[in-house]
């Protein structure tokens, strides 16, 4: 047992005495003794920590995009609502697709414009791109849903193109398209005629009157190229050059075909004789008289389709809007039949003469920098466009039968339409809010509370009745403050809760914005306010 006892301390008596002192005294005494006569250690200086500078943000939207607010949004929503109404009238149902697709879905569908597709970084092993239009995603949707045998579909959504922006002309990198497509097997030219009729109807209801629907047929155009001697492998790239005739001269197009795309000059000259032709039904007779052209099966089929199309357009009373224009090519690779574009006077680039006032500007050339805004050099372009694409769904379905699901459609460019509509719109007459009633309270004296809860109750009563109403977020607002707020919102009516009238169960309803013709308003029972307001709004 003795081995378990602790050993005695061997410390000297002085240490034992020290150990009896309080611990903290012993600690500091020991430290003092140990440092006597020793050199002091150098004092470490703390380096001053530099304060990180606040991040300086570049407050701008990316090039080719913009913020939309208040009155602009009211105008743009009006465009959406008008076109949606037209689409529903023609039996359309809506769908939505992802804003990005697998890159392979979009690749090779847009001809030379494929370079404008926005590619995204690899995420989770998938290569994706932002959608370039709403047509290819729709075709992919149909291929994935083979049980759908026919559909009239509309889709309103944003698309993305890395094109040179022209912001004041509505040519942007992020923009809305409003598409209507008819998919399914039908008798020839019936859906095509309705798609063109929808284009005419939509633009007319938007208040755009000075527009023309340029028409052509891909089979006719392919036949013309074949008759003129264009190799089949070069048809699409020559077609893309011809499509620029609405922007540049024939000489420029011919130069591109011969110098850049190695087309023989004599072939280009033959093409020029055809693509300069345009008219109406009368042009069909001219083409039918061309024996060499009618001997080509593709061209003959195209002319036959055009005869039938004009017959149906007559029935839809849309022929007066149409121009049969052989220069229209549409650069997208997926078109197989009828193609069309809706243009206005503002669609074409401004002539050089317009810049005569500014000689410095007239000497400028269009910038090569693809990020620079080119508004002063270009027109609005087409405001709506479309055509027939019979083989796109079959391509995705990987079917031996090319025309798995024939399709035809029309696409409206919202931002381009917006630029035209806003230019002639009196924006001062557009109300940024839909507020119909402003709830006010008048009173005074020491006992006056401002009737804030009472104003809230009346507003709640109006909201429950589906009436748009607001009040000033202030406990005791002055009359002038309330009238100014109502005027800023453009509210046509005011409900005034008077200090005395309210206790009697009444409020005054006053029509605003009448100026010198303003009256005192009408006294209305609080319980009847909602019904009275509804009747007043119906009369305005």
Q: What is the pLDDT along the chain (540 residues), one digit of tens a residue?
A: 444 444 444 444 444 334 444 444 443 444 444 444 555 555 556 556 666 778 888 899 999 999 998 889 999 999 999 999 999 999 999 999 999 999 999 998 887 788 999 999 887 889 999 999 999 999 999 999 999 999 999 999 999 999 888 888 888 999 999 999 999 999 999 999 999 999 999 999 999 989 999 999 999 999 999 999 999 888 888 988 898 887 788 999 999 999 999 999 999 999 999 999 999 999 999 999 999 999 999 999 999 999 999 999 999 999 999 999 999 988 778 899 999 999 998 887 776 654 443 433 433 455 666 677 777 777 778 899 999 999 999 989 877 776 789 999 999 999 999 999 998 888 888 888 889 999 999 999 988 999 999 999 999 999 999 999 999 999 999 999 999 999 999 999 999 999 999 999 999 999 998 877 778 889 999 999 999 999 999 886
> How far apart (Å, rounded) are the C-alpha atoms in residues 308 and 316?
13
Instruction: Specify the pLDDT at position 345.
Output: 83
pLDDT at 106: 94
Q: Helix, strand or coil for residue 325? A: strand
> Which CATH fold topology does 63-211+407-431 show?
BirA Bifunctional Protein; domain 2 (3.30.930)
The dihedral over CA atoms of 32, 34, 38, 39, expressed in degrees to the nearest 10, equals -60
pTM of this prediction? Answer: 0.81
Residue 183's SS3 state is strand
Closest to 80 (Cα-Cα) out of 414, 357, 370: 414
User: In this predicted structure, what is the pLDDT of residue 402?
Assistant: 67
Q: Which of 209, 154, 171, 85 is nearest to 418 (CA)?
A: 171
pLDDT on residue 49:
61
Instruction: Report the alpha-carbon distance of residue 305 to residue 317 in Å, rounded.
Output: 18
The ranges of the chain annotated as CATH 3.40.50.800 are 437-539
- pLDDT at position 426 is 85
Beta pairing, strands 278-279 & 151-160: unpaired
Q: Where in the chain is the domain with CATH 3.30.930.10?
A: 63-211+407-431
The helix/strand/coil state of 178 is: strand
* Torsion-angle region of 533 (φ positive above 0: left; ψ -120 to 50: alpha; else: beta): alpha
pLDDT, position 368: 61
Alpha-carbon distance of 43 to 309, in angstroms, equals 95
Residue 347's nearest CA partner among 383, 380, 385, 384 is: 380
| Cβ–Cβ under 8 Å, residues 242 and 253 | yes
CATH assignment, 437-539: 3.40.50.800
pLDDT value at position 41? 57
C-alpha pair distances (Å), 109 with each of 80, 162, 226, 334, 484: 27, 16, 22, 6, 56
Looking at residue 332, what is its pLDDT?
75
């Amino acid at each position: 047992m003795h081995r378990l006892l602790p050993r005695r301390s061997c410390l000297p008596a002085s240490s034992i005495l020290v150990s009896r002192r309080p611990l903290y005294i012993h600690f500091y005494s020991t430290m003092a003794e140990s440092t006597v006569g020793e050199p002091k250690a150098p004092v470490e200086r703390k380096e001053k920590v530099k304060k990180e500078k606040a991040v300086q943000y570049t407050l701008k939207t990316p090039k080719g995009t913009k913020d939309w607010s208040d009155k602009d949004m009211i105008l743009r929503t009006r465009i959406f609502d008008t076109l949606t109404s037209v689409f529903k009238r023609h039996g359309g149902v809506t769908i939505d697709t992802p804003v990005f697709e697998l890159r392979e879905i979009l690749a090779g569908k847009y001809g030379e414009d494929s370079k404008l597709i926005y590619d995204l970084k690899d995420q989770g092993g998938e290569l994706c791109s932002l959608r370039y239009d709403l047509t290819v995603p729709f075709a992919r949707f149909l291929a994935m849903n083979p049980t759908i045998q026919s559909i009239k579909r509309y889709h309103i959504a944003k698309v993305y193109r890395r094109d040179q922006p022209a912001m004041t002309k509505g040519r942007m990198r992020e923009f809305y398209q409003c598409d209507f497509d008819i998919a399914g097997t039908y008798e020839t030219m019936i859906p095509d005629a309705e798609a063109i009729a929808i284009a005419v109807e939509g633009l007319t209801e938007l208040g755009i009157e000075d527009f023309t629907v340029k028409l052509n047929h891909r089979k006719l155009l392919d036949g013309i190229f074949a008759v003129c001697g264009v190799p089949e492998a070069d048809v699409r790239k020559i077609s893309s050059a011809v499509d620029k005739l609405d922007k540049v001269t024939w000489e420029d197009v011919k130069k591109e075909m011969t110098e850049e795309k190695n087309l023989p000059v004599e072939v280009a000259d033959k093409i020029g004789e055809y693509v300069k032709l345009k008219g109406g039904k009368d042009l069909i007779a001219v083409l039918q008289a061309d024996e060499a052209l009618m001997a080509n099966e593709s061209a003959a089929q195209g002319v036959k389709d055009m005869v039938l199309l004009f017959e149906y357009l007559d029935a839809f009373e849309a022929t007066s809007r149409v121009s049969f224009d052989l220069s229209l090519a549409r650069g997208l690779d997926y078109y197989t039949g009828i193609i069309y574009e809706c243009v206005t006077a503002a669609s074409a680039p401004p002539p050089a003469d317009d810049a005569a006032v500014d000689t410095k500007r007239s000497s400028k050339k269009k910038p090569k920098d693809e990020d620079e805004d080119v508004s002063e050099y270009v027109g609005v372009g087409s405001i709506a466009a479309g055509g027939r694409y019979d083989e796109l769904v079959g391509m995705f379905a990987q079917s031996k039968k090319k025309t798995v699901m024939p399709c035809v459609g029309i696409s409206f460019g919202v931002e381009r339409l917006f630029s035209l509509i806003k230019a002639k719109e009196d924006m001062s007459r557009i109300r940024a809010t839909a507020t119909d009633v402003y709830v006010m309270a008048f009173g005074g004296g020491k006992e006056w509370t401002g009737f804030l809860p009472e104003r809230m109750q009346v507003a709640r009563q109006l909201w429950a009745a589906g009436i748009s109403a607001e009040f000033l977020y202030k406990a005791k607002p002055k009359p002038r403050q309330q009238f100014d707020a109502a005027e800023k919102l453009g509210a046509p009516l005011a409900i005034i809760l008077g200090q005395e009238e309210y206790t009697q169960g009444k409020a005054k309803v006053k029509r605003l914005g009448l100026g010198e013709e303003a009256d005192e308003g009408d006294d209305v029972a609080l319980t009847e306010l909602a019904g009275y307001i509804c009747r007043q709004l119906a009369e305005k």
